[in-house]
């Protein structure tokens, strides 16, 4: 029935492929933080066109399934003359998609800060730049760390979708493994175990950060 | 984009959209039902049962939906579970959604003030009456925003079913673009379509939610 030999043998290649899952998720969240910060700044800026642009950005990326976004990018980039490797397209898509969620995380964290903090900073004569870099952002970043870890967990799971554009991460590797061993059940359960392992570690990290930054 | 193509593929696209809505609606309803059962088990079952249920929640929430579908659809036959793509997809959506719904119900139940339940117990209501008349009505109202939110998230998950060949909208669009070589346009239109769909559903959801809660605020 359930072949334990196949189950344990598939861990080798799948762990090897897990590098790409982690690479895509980590680069994706990095890119997401950079773009998300810009989008959040645009969202909070006093200029209506910028605000509207950011609102549309967030609404579009949260309203379209990631799989469809991946396909659009994958097929559209060569058409507009950007012939990038699939890996780059995947990281960029995942990062752009994450940016929408991350900008909302920032916005929530900034909104959660008591208004008096910024007012007090202004009252003692801090410049707007100082107010942001010394009062608002350090606190907002601490507040949103658990949410960012949560987003990273979501990205690890979402990265399974890039298998459809041919990147050899855990899911794609397990498809290949299932095809050669004819034992899909064992192989896919092994893949699920690896994802679970990664995510349980990340969840533990999240709890630790939450505990450490709790006031 | 050649619009005449749409005329030719219209029926299959429409059928795909029908399947998308079907999967979403049934997946949401079944997932919610299973989630409610799980939440009630978490609350009333003996310790060791809640541990098993908690492990189920962690496993489903910690693994990608796509991998769950692969286990079910390609791994299932090895243990005698032979399903067509569509039923497998529905079962997959139900299983995938259930732990999230369960957590939503659990926090909804937690929002019911203890005093209400103690008062019900004090006037001699049976435990099943308390669940039916106090816990569920009050808990569901506070869970409503999160329920609506997660149901909207599930619309987007239905496209993943195309990978295990469930003939829903993305699957039909992929087939169309493979036959007409119009990958860019087809996927772009699909993206815009989903954007509109999700925006519409969330607007409707918000309005529905406001109406239901307003009614209750007036009464209490």
Residue A60: pLDDT over 60:
yes
The Cα A103–Cα A34 span in angstroms is 9
Confidence at residue A197, expressed as pLDDT on a 0 to 100 scale: 93
A156 to chain B: closest CA residue = B64
Confidence at residue A215, expressed as pLDDT on a 0 to 100 scale: 57
Confidence at residue A206, expressed as pLDDT on a 0 to 100 scale: 86
- What CATH number matches the domain at A4-213, 3.40.50.300, 2.40.128.50, 1.10.3720.10, 3.40.50.1820? 1.10.3720.10
Q: Which of residues 46-105 of A touch B (CB under 8 A)?
A: 59-60, 62-69, 71-72, 75-76, 79
Residue A32: pLDDT over 90:
yes
Residues of the domain holding B141: 3-219
Look over chain A and give the mean of its residue pLDDT values, rounded to a whole number: 89
Confidence at residue B217, expressed as pLDDT on a 0 to 100 scale: 63
Q: How many domains does chain B have?
A: 1
The Cα A104–Cα B36 span in angstroms is 29
Number of Cβ within 10 Å of residue A116's Cβ equals 9
Confidence at residue B3, expressed as pLDDT on a 0 to 100 scale: 66
Nearest residue, CB atoms, A171 vs list B61, B64, B183 = B64
ipTM of this complex: 0.86
Residues 6+ apart with CB under 8 A from A114: none
A120 shares contact with chain B (CB less than 8 Å): no
pTM (predicted TM-score): 0.87
Confidence at residue B184, expressed as pLDDT on a 0 to 100 scale: 82
Low-confidence ranges of chain B (pLDDT < 50): none
Confidence at residue B2, expressed as pLDDT on a 0 to 100 scale: 61
Confidence at residue B208, expressed as pLDDT on a 0 to 100 scale: 82
Instruction: Give exposure, B107-134, as e/b (b: 16+ Cβ within 10 Å).
Output: ebbeebeeeebeebeeeebeeeebbeeb
Contact list, B195 vs chain A (CB under 8 Å): 59-60, 63-64
| Partner-chain contact B160 A65, CB within 8 Å | yes
B81 shares contact with chain A (CB less than 8 Å): no
Predicted confidence band at A12 (pLDDT cuts at 50, 70, 90)? confident
A106 shares contact with chain B (CB less than 8 Å): no
A205 Cα to chain B: minimum distance (Å): 14
Confidence at residue A72, expressed as pLDDT on a 0 to 100 scale: 87
- Segment A67-75 shows an average pLDDT of 88
B161 shares contact with chain A (CB less than 8 Å): no
Query: What HEC string does chain A produce?
Result: CCCHHHHHHCHHHHHHHHHHHHHHHHHHHHHHHHHHHHHHHHHHCCCHHHHHHHHHHHHHHHHCCHHHHHHHHHHHHHHCCCCCCHHHHHHHHHHHHHHHHHHHHHHHHHHHCCHHHHHHHHHCCCCHHHHHHHHHHHHHHHHHHHHHHHHHHHHHHHHHHHHHHCCCCHHHHHHHHHHHHCCHHHHHHHHHHHHHHHHHHHHHHHHHHHHHHCC
Q: How far out from the chain centre does Cα B129 lie?
A: 28
Interface mutation target, options A154, A173, A188, chain B, most CBs of B under 10 Å: A188
Confidence at residue B63, expressed as pLDDT on a 0 to 100 scale: 94
A125 Cα to chain B: minimum distance (Å): 42
Answer positive or negative: Cα dihedral of B43, B46, B47, B50. Answer: negative
Residue A166: pLDDT over 90:
no
Residue A184: pLDDT over 80:
yes
B53 Cα to chain A: minimum distance (Å): 16
Any idea what the Cα angle at residue B97 is, between residues B49 and A35, rounded to 5°? 125
The Cα A68–Cα B170 span in angstroms is 8
Confidence at residue B215, expressed as pLDDT on a 0 to 100 scale: 65
Answer positive or negative: Cα dihedral of B178, B183, B186, B191. Answer: positive
- Segment A18-24 shows an average pLDDT of 91
CATH number at residue B166: 1.10.3720.10
């Amino acid at each position: 029935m359930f072949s334990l030999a196949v189950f344990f043998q598939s861990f080798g290649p799948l762990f090897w492929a897990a590098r790409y899952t982690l690479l895509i998720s980590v680069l994706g969240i990095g890119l997401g933080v950079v773009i998300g910060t810009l989008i959040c700044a645009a969202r909070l800026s006093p200029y209506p066109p910028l605000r509207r642009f950011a609102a549309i950005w967030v609404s579009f990326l949260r309203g379209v399934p990631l799989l469809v976004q991946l396909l659009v990018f994958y097929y559209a980039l060569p058409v507009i003359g950007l012939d990038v490797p699939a890996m780059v397209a995947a990281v960029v898509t995942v990062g752009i998609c994450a940016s929408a969620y991350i900008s909302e995380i920032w916005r929530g964290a900034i909104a959660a800060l008591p208004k008096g903090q910024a007012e007090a900073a202004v009252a003692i004569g801090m410049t707007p730049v100082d107010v942001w870099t010394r009062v608002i952002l350090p606190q907002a970043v601490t507040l949103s760390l658990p949410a960012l870890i949560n987003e990273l967990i979501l990205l690890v799971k979402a990265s399974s979708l890039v298998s459809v554009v041919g990147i050899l991460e855990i899911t794609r590797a397990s498809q290949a493994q299932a095809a050669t061993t004819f034992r899909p059940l064992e192989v896919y359960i092994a893949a699920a175990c690896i994802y679970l392992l990664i995510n349980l570690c990340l969840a533990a990290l999240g709890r630790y950060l939450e505990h450490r930054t709790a006031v | 984009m050649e619009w005449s193509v749409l005329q030719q593929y219209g029926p299959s696209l429409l059928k795909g959209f029908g399947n998308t809505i079907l999967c979403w609606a049934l997946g949401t309803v079944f997932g919610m039902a299973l989630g409610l059962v799980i939440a009630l088990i978490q609350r009333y079952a003996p310790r060791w049962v809640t541990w098993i249920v908690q492990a189920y929640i962690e496993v489903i929430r910690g693994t990608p939906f796509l991998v769950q579908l692969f286990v079910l659809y390609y791994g299932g036959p090895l243990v005698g579970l032979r399903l067509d793509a569509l039923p497998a997809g529905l079962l997959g959506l139900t299983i995938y959604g259930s732990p999230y719904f369960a957590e939503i119900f659990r926090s909804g139940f937690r929002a019911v003030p203890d005093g209400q339940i103690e008062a019900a117990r004090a006037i001699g209501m049976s435990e099943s009456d308390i669940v039916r008349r106090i816990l569920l009505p009050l808990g569901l109202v506070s869970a409503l925003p999160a329920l609506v939110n997660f149901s909207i998230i599930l619309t987007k998950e239905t496209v993943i079913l195309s990978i295990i060949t469930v003939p829903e909208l993305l699957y039909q669009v992929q087939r169309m673009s493979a036959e007409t070589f119009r990958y860019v346009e087809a996927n772009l239109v699909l993206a815009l379509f989903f954007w509109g769909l999700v925006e519409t559903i969330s607007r409707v959801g918000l309005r529905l939610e406001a109406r239901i809660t307003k009614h209750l605020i007036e009464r209490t």
